[in-house]
Amino acid sequence: MRLQLLSDLHLETESFEPRPSPDAELLVLGGDIDATWAQLDRFAGWPVPVLMVAGNHEFDGRDLGDAWAGLRERCDSLGIRLLERERWVVTSAAGRRVRFVGTVRWSDFDGLGSAQRDRAMRASAYFLRLMAATRQGVPIDAEVMRNESLACRRWLEDELHEPPQGRWDDTVVITHFAPSLRCADPRYGRQPGTASFCNADEDLLPLADLWLHGHLHCRHDFTVHRPGRRPMRVVCQARGLADKGEADGFDEFKPIDVGATDEVRQGLLPGPCHTVPGDPAHPMESMP
Ligand SMILES: [Fe+2]
Ligand SMILES: [Fe+2]
């Protein structure tokens, strides 16, 4: 099954007109599409099914409790299938049954190891203030986000350990937050703030054939070895912000095949990021 992946379009500020890939069977929206939700209507009437996992910016200035119901209603009205801690199995044109599992995943702040958790949580304070979201009326702080994130992690872990029992052939995980430090944006290197972007889900990677994510405003495509099995693949295909140069070289039609042959995937790491690589003095400015 060939997929088109779009994430971090940030249509609340960016000028970008999404177009269907001519040969994709399904479009995946990886979150941070439009903080206002208004421009999700660009995906209404899309020629192939549209799956979406929300990003952190879909909750900017909103209460998590109300926002989930509202976002689901908005997506339903446009024919977009929103996945949050849910599975959806689709049969490809070639007859393969593909299990899609999706969740925002958020950040549990253990991406740099649990010993760094406190520092990572402190480093997230600025991002969380900008997000200005609440949960049951209480501002979302690092503790609330961690609890939300751990709930996502528990669901994902259980789901990925579920035996297929003939129900699916391939598994695609979609998260907004990244599953590994390997996904860290090379512009910023590894610093406490990196844990606001990347979780340590390496143990779950082999349970997926393909893991799609966003949140990092850079692009990469790498494989992870699985003994005795085809390598699994991790792809981020974020567009990001044009005025930061993040959209330079963005290929909205990049083909992503589930079950593609290994040789197609080789030599694709690392993807392009467009500013100073690994500059430890350059703190992340906002949560992508
Ligand atoms: Fe994000
Ligand atoms: Fe983003």
pLDDT one-digit tens code per residue, 11-33: 999 999 999 999 999 999 999 99
Whole-model pTM: value is 0.91
- Full residue range of the structural domain in which residue 153 is found: 2-265
Q: Which of 100, 68, 4, 82 has the alpha carbon at shortest distance from 40?
A: 82
Distance (Å, whole) CA 250 – CA 244: 13
Q: What is the pLDDT of residues 190-236, one digit of tens each?
A: 999 999 999 999 999 999 999 999 999 999 999 999 999 999 999 99
Does any domain span residue 107?
A: yes
CB 118 within 8 A of CB 45: no
* Strand bridging mode 219-226 / 229-237: antiparallel
Does any domain span residue 271?
A: no
Does any domain span residue 274?
A: no
Which segments of the chain have a pLDDT < 50?
A: 261-285
The number of domains in the chain is: 1
Does any domain span residue 280?
A: no
Ligand 2 centroid, distance to 31 Cα (angstroms)? 7
Does any domain span residue 140?
A: yes
DSSP state of 162: S
Ligand 2 centroid, distance to 168 Cα (angstroms)? 31
CATH code of the domain containing 209? 3.60.21
Does any domain span residue 144?
A: yes
Rg (CA), the chain: 18
Ligand 1 centroid, distance to 104 Cα (angstroms)? 9
Starting from the CA of residue 7, give the closest ligand: 2
Ligand 1 centroid, distance to 165 Cα (angstroms)? 34
Does any domain span residue 277?
A: no
Q: Which of 154, 102, 149 has the alpha carbon at shortest distance from 121?
A: 149
Does any domain span residue 54?
A: yes
Tokens encoding 134: 């609440």
